Amino acid sequence: MLERTNDLIPCLDHGYVKLIDVMPHADAVDLSFNTNIADYAIIDAARVSYQSGTTRKQSDKQLLRYLMRHWHTSPFEMVEFKFEMRLPIFVMRQLVRHRTASLNEESARYSVMEDVFYEPDTLRAQSTTNKQGSAEGDFNPFIGPRETATAVMNHQTDEAYKLYQQLIEAGVSREQARMVLPVNLYTRVVWKCDLLNLLKMLRLRLDPHAQYEIRVFAEAIAEFVKLHCPWTWEAFEDYWQGGVSFSKEEIDILRYLIPFTGSESFNAASQGTKLSKGELLEFQEKFNRIANGES
């Protein structure tokens, strides 16, 4: 269970995710009816498309879910989150791959970096099925007769920082002295991203196959998204994170696996579902298209 204290969530041994700002603010949206500021900013943006302005209806939540379900994504770009993060450099490199975000990182050209490194207690073995992943479970082999892998790694980290300090004290420029620092050094960034691309990032980095360390920071970011736009998060979990898609070839196989089901049987099977009437009709249409061999 993540610990959230005063808008800051600790991550790993010395890292954190801190929420700095969310746009829009309360004064930008009519909140006389609700406090879902971010959710209603999305709804308002969508309603402008068909010139209904910000008229309030009972179907507000259903409209937002429709947008998410059908990938009408531009309204989700109307919300932005800004975070401050302290994270290891090798984790930050995965974060910056999401190039739609804006960021500013702590500079080792101007500042002397702190002696703060990510030092795990245990490691993970290389996966035998995924070349870029690791296996489940703790792993801490001996390197040499007496020293564990983590002990050797931590020793090398300490030695690298001592050399860094010696270079600085000898007058070597900070921008060159930093070259000896390893990528488990903690850095700080301010990271701003619109909600759409933030959700795309979370869809990848919350996946169980994502590297554990980046997943920790994604889980912290997700806590803030859930807090400020709960309707959006619920739709995200239902349609993007919890849903699957099929290729044309996979659908061809499904046609042989799924016999045609009449409306009575379909209605009986769908009893108790939380799908809305509109969602259920869409599902039945998709099911029948597969079962009947329609394109």
Q: Give the Cα separation of 249 and 227 in Å (integer).
A: 40
Count of other CB atoms within 10 angstroms of residue 146: 7
For helices 37-48 and 60-69, the axis angle rounded to 10 degrees is 70
For 164-204, write each residue's pLDDT tens digit.
999 999 999 999 999 999 999 999 999 999 999 999 999 99
For 54-86, write each residue's pLDDT tens digit.
455 558 899 999 999 999 999 999 999 999 999
Band of pLDDT at residue 280, cut at 50, 70 and 90: confident
Band of pLDDT at residue 112, cut at 50, 70 and 90: very high
Q: Would you state the pLDDT for residue 241? A: 92
Nearest CA among 88, 85, 91, 86 for reference residue 157? 88
Q: What beta strand segments (E) does the chain contain?
A: 8-11, 15-23, 80-88, 102-105, 142-143, 147-148, 186-194
φ, ψ of residue 61 in degrees (nearest 5): -65, -40
Residues with active-site annotation? 205
The CATH number given to 8-100+186-241 is 3.30.1360.170
Query: Helix, strand, or coil here: 276?
Result: coil
Domain chopping of the chain, boundaries: 8-100+186-241, 123-180, 248-291
Q: Give the Cα separation of 174 and 243 in Å (integer).
A: 49
Q: Which residue has the higher pLDDT, 71 or 270?
A: 71
For 222-241, write each residue's pLDDT tens digit.
999 999 999 999 999 999 99
